[in-house]
């Protein structure tokens, strides 16, 4: 009898944990490599199982509506995937840091968030309890040679922005290599969720990345709904789509302005900054908070969606979107802006696929990867939203793609608002299924958000894994900087606009 090495799981589905195959590490490795050859790694994490660590990997294969899930049991070490699958690189560093398990053969094994191992006395770098952990202190890749110099920036940056350390190896103005050290924002979120859900859980989830609160809270809500067998009412499903697209619109508008600002084109910065606020205010109309806090809740919505609010949002969008289009056109038609945006920070499609890049950054390099389309759930399953792509992979493409997504979202919302189902907006989720695993993916404005929950015998969280899109994409920023003038770093950075807190958890 053939032993299944991979289980298939739909987005938003929960299954008993014993349905996930547990295979030999070598077979685990080959299954992932073969699945990821036509897809990408969605999540790869460890979970304690008695005194061992169970590794679980989830792969999304292009064009397939199911996720591939497999697992293996390890103790001190396992053969690293990274040499054959570069997109596993940060996942394996994370596993090493969290569980003190060594991915053997990993070419770039360094801490990710600078915290103690979850397994007492098991440290991947052999550090003892007494050794102090200083964030950002690790072995950096160093380039040596005549006139080669190093530039270190951060953790505290010049702008109103989160902390992270960037270390550039430069030859003159040219960047040879950029290494990014994060972890300053580490708040211990995953560990703090264990034993839950409790009254604080959803609030911690909403603060994973405050500018993507709707996306993360929706991913969490879908996890709870899967584990409790609850289905959110139709009206809630539709309003969730509205909330997620409003979050996308506000952030994309803000990013377009910030990109213009980074090359000194102030008119578009001003207009888009104002528009971003106007769009946040629509989220506030929907739920009472500009960042959408309190809107998404397991079982539906946290706030009733008043009929007049739909009209107000539609009216305001009809005013804001033409303004945004004109602002984008100012950017698009200004030759000096174009000169800075075009051919800057180019990410070739092949690099994108190799690194497992997600979200607008992937679509701007021509990769059609979008949870709303590939693994559509809830409102997106009943009404499809067009997926935008652009092919040039440069800063211009990432700007252009943001506008295309705004335009698509606005058109989509116009249709959705007209056919808003009536009825209640929340069902009370019951107890969570014990000894089960649930996976939930949401296409947030930055890209693919993945939440995985594993419950214990009492139906409490035994492990809660969060993969923010930024976790996939930070290495992408480092790679596009190679060969760029260092002065283009702010612009390239803004064109990705990644989350530090979402990465650091």
Partner 1 sequence: MLKAFFERIRQGHRTLPFPPQEEVLPTGFRGRPALDPAKCREGCKACADVCPTDAIVAGTKPAVDLGRCLFCNECVAACPTGAIRFTPEYRMAATRREDLVIGAGAPRLARPLGSERQLLRRSLRLRQVSAGGSAGCELEASALSNVVFDSGRFGIEFVASPRHADGLLVTGPVTRNMRSALEKTYEAVPPPKIVIAAGASAISGGPFMGGAEVLDGVEKVLPVDLYVPGHPPHPLTILDGLMRLLGRIRSA
Give the Cα separation of 463 and 437 in Å (integer).
Answer: 9
Give the Cα separation of 475 and 89 in Å (integer).
Answer: 9
Cβ proximity to partner 1: between 390 and 403 the closer is: 403
Cβ proximity to partner 1: between 113 and 451 the closer is: 113
Instruction: Give the torsion sign (CA, 177, 180, 181, 184).
Output: positive
C-alpha angle with apex 215: 212 to 221, nearest 5 degrees?
135
Cα Rg of the chain (Å, integer):
22
Cβ proximity to partner 1: between 233 and 273 the closer is: 273
Q: Pick the piece of the chain touching partner 1 (CB under 8 A) from 9-17, 151-159, 223-231, 482-490.
A: 151-159
Q: Pick the piece of the chain touching partner 1 (CB under 8 A) from 35-43, 101-109, 178-186, 240-248.
A: 178-186
Give the Cα separation of 199 and 479 in Å (integer).
Answer: 41
Phi, psi of 294 (to 5 degrees): 90, -5
Q: Pick the piece of the chain touching partner 1 (CB under 8 A) from 20-28, 188-196, 415-423, 472-480.
A: 188-196
For residue 176, state whether it binds partner 1 (rule: CB under 8 A): no
Q: Output the smallest distance, CB 19 to partner 1, in A.
A: 33
Instruction: Give the torsion sign (CA, 61, 404, 395, 217).
Output: negative
Give the Cα separation of 181 and 348 in Å (integer).
Answer: 24
Residue carrying the six token digits 């959803």: 202
For residue 406, state whether it binds partner 1 (rule: CB under 8 A): no
Residue choice 78, 271, 464, 496 for contact with partner 1 (CB under 8 A): 271
For residue 162, state whether it binds partner 1 (rule: CB under 8 A): yes
Residue carrying the six token digits 């900087």: 481
Cβ proximity to partner 1: between 150 and 323 the closer is: 323
Cβ proximity to partner 1: between 36 and 313 the closer is: 313
What token pair was written down for 190?
A: 């995953």
Give the Cα separation of 461 and 430 in Å (integer).
Answer: 15
For residue 160, state whether it binds partner 1 (rule: CB under 8 A): yes
For residue 186, state whether it binds partner 1 (rule: CB under 8 A): yes
Q: Pick the piece of the chain touching partner 1 (CB under 8 A) from 5-13, 182-190, 222-230, 482-490.
A: 182-190
Q: Pick the piece of the chain touching partner 1 (CB under 8 A) from 17-25, 327-335, 362-370, 416-424.
A: 327-335
Sheet (strand 165-171) strand order: 148-153, 165-171, 174-181
User: How far is Cα of residue 180 from the mean position of the Cα atoms in its chain?
Assistant: 17
| 8 A C-beta contact, residue 331 and residue 383 | no
Cβ proximity to partner 1: between 64 and 323 the closer is: 323
Q: Which residues contact 295 (CB under 8 A, 6 or more apart)?
A: 214, 217, 243, 283, 286, 287, 289, 301, 302, 303
For residue 199, state whether it binds partner 1 (rule: CB under 8 A): yes
C-alpha angle with apex 147: 144 to 151, nearest 5 degrees?
75
Q: Pick the piece of the chain touching partner 1 (CB under 8 A) from 77-85, 87-95, 268-276, 375-383.
A: 268-276
| 8 A C-beta contact, residue 359 and residue 255 | no
What letter does residue 426 receive in the DSSP assignment? B
For residue 294, state whether it binds partner 1 (rule: CB under 8 A): yes
Pairing of β 77-79 and β 66-74: unpaired
Cβ proximity to partner 1: between 4 and 203 the closer is: 203
Give the Cα separation of 338 and 396 in Å (integer).
Answer: 7
For residue 191, state whether it binds partner 1 (rule: CB under 8 A): yes
For residue 316, state whether it binds partner 1 (rule: CB under 8 A): no
For residue 209, state whether it binds partner 1 (rule: CB under 8 A): yes
For residue 298, state whether it binds partner 1 (rule: CB under 8 A): no
Residue ranges in 75-114 that form contacts with partner 1 under rule CB under 8 A: 113-114
Q: Pick the piece of the chain touching partner 1 (CB under 8 A) from 12-20, 117-125, 181-189, 413-421.
A: 181-189
Q: Output the smallest distance, CB 99 to partner 1, in A.
A: 17
Which of 293, 312, 309 is CA-nearest to residue 301?
Answer: 293
Give the Cα separation of 271 and 283 in Å (integer).
Answer: 19
For residue 284, state whether it binds partner 1 (rule: CB under 8 A): yes
Residue ranges in 119-138 that form contacts with partner 1 under rule CB under 8 A: 134-135
Write out the residues near partner 1 by the rule CB under 8 A: 113-115, 134-135, 155-156, 158-163, 183-189, 191-192, 199-200, 203-204, 206-211, 213, 254, 267, 270-271, 273-274, 276-277, 284-285, 288-291, 293-294, 302-303, 323, 326-327, 330, 333-334, 499-501
């Amino acid at each position: 009898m053939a032993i299944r090495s991979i289980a298939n799981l739909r987005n938003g589905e929960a299954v008993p944990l014993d349905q996930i195959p547990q295979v030999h590490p070598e077979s685990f490795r080959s299954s992932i490599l073969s699945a990821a050859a036509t897809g990408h790694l969605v999540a790869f994490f460890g979970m304690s199982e008695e005194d061992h660590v169970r590794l679980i990997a989830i792969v999304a294969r292009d064009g397939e509506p199911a996720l591939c899930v497999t697992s293996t049991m390890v103790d001190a070490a396992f053969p690293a995937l990274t040499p054959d699958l570069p997109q596993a690189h940060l996942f394996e560093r994370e596993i090493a840091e969290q569980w003190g398990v060594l991915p053997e053969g990993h070419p770039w094994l360094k801490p990710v968030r600078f915290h103690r191992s979850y397994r007492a006395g098991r440290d991947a770098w052999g550090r003892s309890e007494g050794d102090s952990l200083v964030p950002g202190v690790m072995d950096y890749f160093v380039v040596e040679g005549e006139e080669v110099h190093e530039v270190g920036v951060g953790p505290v940056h010049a702008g109103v922005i989160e902390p992270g350390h960037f270390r550039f190896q430069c030859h003159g103005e040219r960047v040879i290599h950029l290494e990014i050290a994060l972890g300053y924002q580490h708040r211990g979120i995953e560990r703090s969720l264990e034993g839950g859900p409790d009254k604080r859980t959803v609030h911690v989830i909403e603060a994973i990345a405050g500018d993507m609160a709707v996306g993360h809270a929706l991913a969490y809500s879908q996890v709870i709904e899967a584990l409790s067998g609850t289905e959110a009412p139709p009206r809630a499903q539709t309003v969730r789509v509205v909330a997620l697209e409003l979050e996308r619109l506000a952030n994309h508008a803000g990013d377009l302005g910030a990109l213009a600002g980074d090359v000194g084109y102030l008119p578009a910065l001003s207009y888009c900054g104002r528009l971003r606020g106007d769009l946040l205010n629509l989220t506030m109309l929907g739920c009472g908070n500009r960042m959408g806090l309190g809107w998404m809740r397991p079982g539906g919505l946290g706030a009733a969606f008043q009929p007049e609010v739909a009209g107000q949002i539609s009216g305001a969008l009809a005013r804001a979107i033409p303004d945004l289009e004109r602002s984008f056109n100012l950017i698009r038609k200004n030759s000096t802006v174009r000169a800075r945006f075009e051919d800057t920070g180019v990410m070739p499609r092949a690099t994108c696929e190799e690194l497992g890049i997600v979200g607008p950054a992937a679509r701007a390099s021509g990769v059609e990867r979008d949870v709303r389309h590939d693994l559509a759930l809830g409102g997106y399953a009943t009404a499809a939203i067009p997926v935008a792509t652009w092919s040039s992979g440069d800063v211009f493409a990432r700007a252009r793609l943001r506008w295309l997504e705004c335009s698509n979202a606005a058109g989509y919302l116009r249709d959705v608002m007209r056919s808003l189902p009536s009825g209640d907006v929340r069902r009370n989720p019951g107890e969570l299924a014990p000894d089960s695993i649930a996976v939930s993916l949401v296409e947030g404005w930055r890209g693919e958000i993945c939440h995985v929950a594993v419950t214990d015998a009492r139906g409490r969280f035994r492990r809660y894994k969060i993969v923010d899109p930024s976790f996939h994409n930070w290495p992408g920023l480092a790679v596009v900087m190679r060969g760029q003038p260092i002065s283009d770093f702010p612009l390239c950075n803004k064109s990705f606009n990644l989350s530090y807190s979402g990465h650091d958890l």
